[in-house]
Amino acid sequence: MKKYNWSGNIRELKNAVETAYNYASSNVITIEDIPERIPEYQGKPADEESSIDSLKESVDRYEKEIIKRELETTDRRVSETARRLGISKQSLQYKLNKYKLR
């Protein structure tokens, strides 16, 4: 993790740690829990071009992951998912269409 070029700075690191925590299969985060979008986490060399995403692409990808996880948690109940995410039902409907999660 020390070698990874944190182009998003502290927010990218925070998001990576939160993602690893959310997907960890135990109370210890292992290398398998680290997000695949960060090649150096997985012990693979990162291509310069492949490791640099625009901020919008990174945010969209992370947002989609969070929404998918919450939809699974709530058995696809849109109102409950929106409440848990702290957004309006209309905002969630828009994002479901945007990310083709219907």
Do 59 and 96 share a structural domain? yes
Do 41 and 58 share a structural domain? no
What's the predicted TM-score (pTM) here? Answer: 0.51
Count of structural domains within the chain: 2
Do 71 and 46 share a structural domain? no
The CA distance from 91 to 96, in Å, is 9
Q: How confident is the model at residue 87 (pLDDT cuts 50, 70, 90)?
A: very high
Work out whether the CA dihedral 83, 88, 90, 93 comes out positive or negative.
negative
Residues of the chain with pLDDT > 70, as a percent, come to: 71
Do 31 and 17 share a structural domain? yes
Do 21 and 46 share a structural domain? yes
Q: What is the dihedral of CA 6, 8, 68, 89, to 10 degrees?
A: 160
Read off the tokens for 26: 């135990």
Least confident of 3-12, 23-32, 72-81: 3-12
Full residue range of the structural domain in which residue 47 is found:
1-52
